[in-house]
């Protein structure tokens, strides 16, 4: 009897600890206890769907069947999840929807749910500290190239408003199915920069986050008047972690990147340079992007090296299709390594370790061809935002030196 009583007490203690230890995701709506994250990075999800027959949560590339409780709510606890930000969806009797307990995040072409599996407490480069904060501003401008209003978000560093200094500029691009909000919402780019600048690890800089979509009047593609954006297609080499977009009405625009480059050079950069206190010239101009935004970065910068001296591809740089050839790739820009190394101050190739060897191989090929480059690998992360936060955190200190 004593043993049983002790076992009961022990199990009650364990249960109590387990419930208390599952902390609501920082991305939940106010008041929502679920989803919550256990100390071992398992997550428990809860969905109210009293009349449903089957409910499943899909997160980080896996599906977990949920089980209905007496209260009509369905729950599931996952296996341990990779740290970082994950988009996720709930499937209710075949309907792919966002979890109403989560804030939504624009990814995969729609507003889906997000859960944050935090890094260990000592890793806080993307968390707000009591340091001077920059600001992120919504900047609308009318594009001559597309004939539409476009929205940029512009980070200005601490002290910008009250000072008179001029700053270098990083153009920072989102990925497929995301938009110009991704870097400061999912990516915490403002917090990362604030912390780096406060620690004097990065130079104060302006960061411009625009939308990859740019379609001329009459070009194939869809333009939406509310925000002026069109979803570019899924890139060839995404890993499987982003949930698929829900069914939608029409097809996707073709994407060559040429119109974006034209728009950027004709409309965006001039708007930025006449609106903000910007340092002129290529040595004060960087461009980087994640996934498709990395592809865009390579397309834009490698054909305009008179305008950019710093280049970053975050999970977006595997050397292009058809293999790398130092003599001919990207119109031969790598053919004269010495000339390239003189012009390009930083060529940064970042990738998550779970994304495969493509970027590492590309970096090695470049090195073999004499092209100086930085290879950065994010340990244990996939094609997701924690990889890109880490890339930015490593890339930004290298800029404008």
Collapsed DSSP state (helix, strand, coil) of residue 16: helix
Q: Is residue 52 packed enough to be buried (19+ CB in 10 Å), middle (13-18) or exposed (0-12)?
A: middle
E strand segments, 181-290: 206-209, 285-290
User: Any bridge partners for residue 62, and if so which?
Assistant: 59
How far apart are CB 179 and its own copies at their closest, in Å?
9
- Prior bond to 239 cis, omega within 30? no
Q: How many residues bind to its own copies according to rule CB under 8 A?
A: 75
Nearest to 341 by CA among 350, 332, 333, 351: 333
> What are residue 314's phi and psi, to 5 degrees?
-110, 110
Half-sphere exposure of 107 (CA within 13 A, CB side): 29
Both tokens of 388, joined, read 């890109």
Residue 144 binding its own copies, by CB under 8 A: no
- For residue 139, give the H/E element and its range: strand 135-142
The alpha helices in 264-354, defined as continuous H runs, are 269-275, 292-302, 329-332, 337-343
Residue 143 binding its own copies, by CB under 8 A: no
In this structure, what DSSP letter does residue 386 have? H
Nearest to 80 by CA among 143, 50, 121, 38: 38
User: CB under 8 A: which stretch of 101-109, 257-265, 333-341, 344-352 binds its own copies?
Assistant: 101-109
From first CA to last CA, the distance across the chain in angstroms is 73
Question: Contact letters (x/-) for its own copies, 150-189, by CB under 8 A?
Answer: ----x------xx---------------------x-----
> What are residue 294's phi and psi, to 5 degrees?
-70, -40
Q: Between 186 and 359, whose beta carbon lies closer to its own copies?
A: 186
User: CB under 8 A: which stretch of 130-138, 196-204, 294-302, 381-389 binds its own copies?
Assistant: 130-138
Which residues in 39-58 contact its own copies (CB under 8 A)? 47-55
Residue 85 binding its own copies, by CB under 8 A: no
Q: Between 34 and 362, whose beta carbon lies closer to its own copies?
A: 34
**Candidate list 44, 101, 373, 381; residue touching its own copies; CB under 8 A:** 101
How far apart are CB 97 and its own copies at their closest, in Å?
4
User: CB under 8 A: which stretch of 250-258, 372-380, 383-391, 392-400 binds its own copies?
Assistant: 250-258
Measured CA to CA, the distance from residue 309 to residue 282 in angstroms comes to 5
How far apart are CB 54 and its own copies at their closest, in Å?
7
User: CB under 8 A: which stretch of 58-66, 104-112, 168-176, 304-312 binds its own copies?
Assistant: 104-112
Both tokens of 215, joined, read 């379609």
Q: How many CB atoms lie within 10 A of CB 129?
A: 12
Q: Between 106 and 362, whose beta carbon lies closer to its own copies?
A: 106
Question: Contact letters (x/-) for its own copies, 341-380, by CB under 8 A?
Answer: ----------------------------------------
Measured CA to CA, the distance from residue 26 to residue 39 in angstroms comes to 14
User: CB under 8 A: which stretch of 93-101, 331-339, 340-348, 374-382 binds its own copies?
Assistant: 93-101
**Candidate list 17, 138, 165, 256; residue touching its own copies; CB under 8 A:** 138
Residue 254 binding its own copies, by CB under 8 A: no
Measured CA to CA, the distance from residue 83 to residue 101 in angstroms comes to 20
Q: Between 99 and 377, whose beta carbon lies closer to its own copies?
A: 99
How far apart are CB 130 and its own copies at their closest, in Å?
6
Which residues in 209-248 contact its own copies (CB under 8 A)? 213, 222, 224-227, 229-231, 246-248
| Cβ contact 253:221 at 8 Å | yes
List, in order, residues 6 or more apart from 33 with CB less than 8 Å away. Answer: 24, 46
Measured CA to CA, the distance from residue 203 to residue 130 in angstroms comes to 19
Which residues in 3-32 contact its own copies (CB under 8 A)? 24, 26-32
Q: Between 150 and 345, whose beta carbon lies closer to its own copies?
A: 150
How far apart are CB 225 and its own copies at their closest, in Å?
6
Question: Contact letters (x/-) for its own copies, 264-303, by CB under 8 A?
Answer: -----------xx---------------------------
User: CB under 8 A: which stretch of 102-110, 316-324, 361-369, 380-388 binds its own copies?
Assistant: 102-110
Measured CA to CA, the distance from residue 374 to residue 394 in angstroms comes to 10
How far apart are CB 181 and its own copies at their closest, in Å?
10
């Amino acid at each position: 009897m004593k043993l049983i009583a002790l076992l009961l007490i022990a199990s009650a203690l364990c249960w109590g600890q387990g419930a208390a230890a599952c902390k609501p995701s920082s991305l939940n709506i106010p008041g929502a206890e679920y989803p919550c994250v256990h100390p071992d990075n398992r997550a428990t999800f809860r969905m109210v769907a009293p009349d449903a027959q089957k409910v499943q949560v899909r997160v980080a590339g896996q599906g977990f069947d949920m089980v209905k409780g007496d209260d009509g709510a369905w729950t599931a606890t996952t296996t341990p999840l990779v740290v970082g930000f994950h988009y996720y969806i709930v499937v209710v009797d075949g309907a792919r929807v966002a979890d109403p307990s989560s804030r939504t995040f624009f990814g995969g072409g729609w507003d889906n749910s997000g859960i944050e599996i935090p890094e260990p407490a000592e890793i806080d480069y993307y968390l707000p500290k009591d340091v001077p904060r920059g600001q992120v501003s919504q900047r609308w401008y009318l594009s001559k190239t597309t004939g539409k209003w476009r929205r940029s978000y512009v980070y200005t560093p601490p002290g910008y408003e009250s000072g008179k200094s001029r700053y270098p500029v990083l153009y920072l691009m989102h990925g497929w199915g995301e938009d110009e909000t991704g870097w400061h919402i999912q990516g915490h780019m403002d917090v990362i920069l604030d912390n780096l600048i406060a620690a004097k690890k990065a130079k104060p800089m302006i960061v411009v986050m625009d939308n990859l979509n740019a379609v001329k009047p009459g070009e194939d593609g869809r333009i939406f008047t509310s925000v002026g954006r069109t979803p570019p297609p899924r890139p060839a080499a995404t890993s499987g972690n982003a949930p698929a977009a829900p069914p939608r009405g029409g097809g996707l625009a073709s994407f060559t990147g040429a119109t974006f480059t034209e728009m950027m050079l004709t409309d965006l950069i001039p708007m930025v340079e006449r609106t903000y206190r910007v340092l002129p010239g290529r040595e004060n101009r960087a461009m980087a992007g994640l996934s498709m935004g990395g592809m865009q970065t390579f397309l834009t910068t490698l054909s305009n090296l008179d305008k950019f001296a710093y280049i970053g591809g975050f999970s977006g740089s595997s050397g292009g299709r058809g293999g790398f050839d130092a003599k001919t790739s990207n119109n031969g820009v790598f053919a004269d390594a010495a000339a390239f190394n003189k012009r390009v101050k930083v060529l940064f190739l970042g990738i998550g370790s779970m994304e495969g060897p493509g970027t590492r191989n590309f970096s090695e090929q470049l090195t073999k061809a004499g092209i100086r480059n930085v290879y950065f690998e994010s340990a244990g992360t996939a094609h997701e935002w924690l990889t890109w936060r880490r890339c930015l955190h490593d890339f930004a200190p290298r800029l404008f030196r």
